[in-house]
Chains A and B, each alone.
Chain A
Amino acid sequence: MMGMNVSANIQTDTLLDVKNLCVDYLASSGTVHAVTDVNFTLKRGEILGLAGESGSGKSTLAYAITCLLRPPALISGGEILYYPRSSEDGRDNSRIKMTHLSKGGKSKQAKGASEHSIEETKPINLLQLSPAQLRDLRWNDLAIVFQSAMNALNPVMTVGAQIMDVLRTHRPDMGSDARKQRAKELFQLVGIAPDRLRSYPHELSGGMRQRAIIAIALALSPEILIMDEPTTALDVVVQREILTEIMRLREQLGFSVIFITHDLSLLLELADYVAIMYAGRIVEKASQGDLYAHPRHPYSYGLLNSFPSLHGPRRKMAGIPGSPPDLRMVPPGCAFHVRCPLAIDVCHKVLPTLLPMKGEKSEQLVACHLYDTLYNEKPPTALDLARKYEALAEESNAG
């Protein structure tokens, strides 16, 4: 019933705008440039996927957005703008009413207590908030689900106590009965029997623990849910269940998701938009359909073709040669040129920027000189990419 309305809003409403974000780790052996000059926007109700190999900076990016990075990590530049939902926004329907019921206490409470007046219609730069303001923002507006559910739950507290802990901290005016009621609701929401609230984490299976974590993340109906490899440690069947659950909850509650994973095939099913990261930079940004139909960046193509498919002809496949670069000494120019089977001279020297392809209206942006008419007359087609990678497969086969 609310689906239509929400999706109409999704197109226009920006929720999070990350601009020129840079994160470094100051190590004694040299500065590690984990995230460099990253830009993206997240719209309301959208699922944005971040994909890349380990060490491509995707988790660092997630931690930076939640301002959870501690030294030696340093956010060396950029801003993260958050656009909170305006409370006078009449267009919003059942979903906002529901959150207002649960958030009613908070918005008064938060503003009164911490004396900061966040102008609800203006963007907030998360990087300039005080710890108290951040504490208010986290979990209310921005929740994160960490990679391994085993370590994210406290082993000496029951899962119920851990949900109620969140509620007690952020909703001090909520009575103990109301808290219990909310905890039960949340467990039902994620598909666990409410009587498991009294279980300790070790009494739950991996999948149930992950569900419990999602329940905790959703406790205060956040606007943004950041999921850092939420299903990597789980079996495929359980993974599918959790993902179906996330999709259902998003339909129901209308939050936005930043979904981080190395499994691009998973992301293509799940996300609306996908950003591919390599060596701390976004190298390609495209809608799910565009990326699947024609990945442009040679790295995206390689990543997409690192997964054997279930259907279609069985063919020889090649992974991407070499390994990810040391982020202390990122190669000059395009960082991928060392491993790229299509690299041309200019790739060693000039850093490519995210650009749409000339004469094309699509939102597919790629940072690759091969698609820039300035350097390369004829941009490669998907077939050209395939051929180069196939040649590589044969070469490695012979060697």
Chain B
Amino acid sequence: MNDIAVQLNKANSEYHQGPILEGVHLQKKFPIGSLKLSATQRAVHAVEDASLALYPGRALALVGESGSGKTTVARILAGLYSPTSGMVRFRGEPAKLTDKKYLQTYRRNVQLVLQDPFSSLNPVHDVRYHLARPLRIFNHAQNRKQETEQILSLLNRVNLSPAEQFIQKYPHQLSGGQRQRVSIARALAVQPEVLLADEPVSMLDVSIRLDILNLLLRLKDEERLALLFITHDIASARYFAEDTLVMYAGQMVEGGPSDEVIQRPKHPYTQLLISAAPNPDNLHAQNDKEVTTFTARGEIPSLIQPPSGCRFHPRCPHAMPVCSQRFPARTDLGGGRWTNCFLFGDDEN
């Protein structure tokens, strides 16, 4: 559990203050068909074993296909789901996410930005309402004058200017990018230390995506936010985050500094993900080269009866008999890199 922290310590001296938010061996099962009491409980094994740590002023990207469990991890960290096993640690202390009182103070520090700005804002309320509620609930504003001041400064921080005009607009009067800025402002209103961004740009138009990513990067630097950036686009993970974790079907398969992970992927799944990503640079390299590197077929398996052992083994071009028997332990590759794959050893002892 602490091994990530230890490894990352080497990479950057900033880590000495330790992680602000940690997920330790998180597991989440969603029971299904619970009517039959006699039958063994069937469940969707959404997250099997996920550990991650967020540091102030740093961004961590969680990359995976749909169904890999990345959103579930974010929701556990946000206190929306309680994990089946494992725990969340906040500032080094276990977070009591079932305690309502605790949850209120927890949410003052940990905020979630959702994927779809078209459905995460209430269409019958204006921007002022959306931003005033967190200010009031968390007692940041005592009266209406303070409230207005703070809302205006929030809108300016997310580059919505002139703020005086935006404050009275309704969601339908805003474009997708502007709505997502309002969502980010709403999360910032609480003055959090951790921002969990669940695919914050995937619903936005291509030309606007970078604007939002740059905004989040600026906020991260200026306010020393700890950022979790969930994405399916591995190229934007490299652009955005210092560290990258790769998830497959609920298991974490590889992690480390983003550039290392993406330039020299070790786990076959990471390699597959990178060779599948659109990359016009391939034009200069021979076109048929990237076709040959792409070998695995098929899709993410059913998580109700997931494959045994390493869940990637049915698609893996390098699968060995041991892969279907048990999940490989984490192998430290040095420099903060690790992977869970028998190809690189198995330090289970």
Q: Write the residues of chain A forming the contact surface with B, with a CB cutoff of 8 angstroms.
A: 53-54, 205, 207, 235-241, 244, 262-266, 268-269, 288-289, 292, 302-304, 306-312, 314, 316-321, 323-324, 393, 396-397, 399
Given contacts A241-B297, A397-B214, contact A319 B238 (CB under 8 A): no
In chain B, positions 253-294 with a C-beta closer than 8 Å to chain A are 259, 262-263, 272-283, 287, 291, 294
Bound CA span A236–B63, Å: 11
Do B238 and A314 have beta carbons less than 8 Å apart? yes
The answer on a CB contact under 8 Å between B259 and A318 is no
Q: Which of A207, A304, A311 has the most CB of B within 10 A?
A: A311
Q: Which residue of A lies closest to B281 (CB)?
A: A311
Judge whether B65 and A237 touch: CB under 8 Å: yes
Q: Report chain A residues within 8 Å CB of B169.
A: none
Counting from the closest, the 4 A-B pairs by CB-CB distance are: A308-B239, A319-B210, A240-B276, A268-B280
Binding site for A on B (CB under 8 A): 65-66, 159, 175, 177, 205-211, 214, 218, 232-236, 238-240, 259, 262-263, 272-283, 287, 291, 294, 296-297, 299-300
In the complex, residue of chain A having the shortest beta-carbon distance to the beta carbon of B269:
A237
Q: Return chain B residues, CB-CB under 8 Å to A324.
A: 205, 207
Task: Verify A263–B206 contact, CB threshold 8 A.
Answer: yes
Contact of A307 (CB < 8 Å), options: B206, B232, B272, B275 = B206
Instruction: Give the distance in Å from the alpha carbon of A398 to the alpha carbon of B200 in the complex.
Output: 22
Query: What 8 new A-B contacts, CB under 8 Å, besides A54-B205, A265-B278?
Result: A303-B206, A308-B236, A310-B234, A310-B238, A310-B274, A318-B210, A323-B205, A324-B207
Query: Measured between C-beta atoms, what is the minimum distance from A29 to chain B in Å?
Result: 14
Q: Considering only CB atoms, which chain A residue lies closest to B300 in the complex?
A: A235
Q: Which residues of A contact B273 (CB under 8 A)?
A: 236-237
Give CA–CA (A323, B294) in the complex, Å. 37
Q: Are A317 and B209 in contact (CB under 8 A)?
A: no
A309 near B207 with CB under 8 A, answer no
Contact check, B206 vs A306: say whether CB atoms are below 8 A apart: yes
Q: Is the CB of B206 within 8 A of A269?
A: no
Taking CB atoms, residues of chain A closer than 8 Å to B218 are 397
User: B208 contacts which chain A residues (CB < 8 A)?
Assistant: 319, 323
Which residues of the partner chain B approach A53 to less than 8 Å between Cβ atoms? 205-207
B117 to chain A, nearest CB (A): 14
CB distance from A30 to the nearest CB of B (A): 17
- Given A241-B297, A310-B262, A399-B159, A262:B206 Cβ within 8 A: yes
Closest to A320 in B: B207
Contacts of A396 in B (CB 8 A): 159, 211, 214
Q: How far is the CB of A314 from chain B (nearest CB, A)?
A: 7
Check if A237 sits within 8 Å of B205, measured CB to CB.
no
- Verify A269–B280 contact, CB threshold 8 A: yes
Interchain nearest-CB distance for B256 vs A (Å): 15
With A and B bound together, what is the CA distance between A244 and B287 in angstroms? 11
A323 pairs with B177, CB closer than 8 A? yes
Residues in A neighbouring B279, C-beta threshold 8 A = 265, 269, 309-311
The CA-CA distance from A289 to B287 in the complex, in Å, is 12
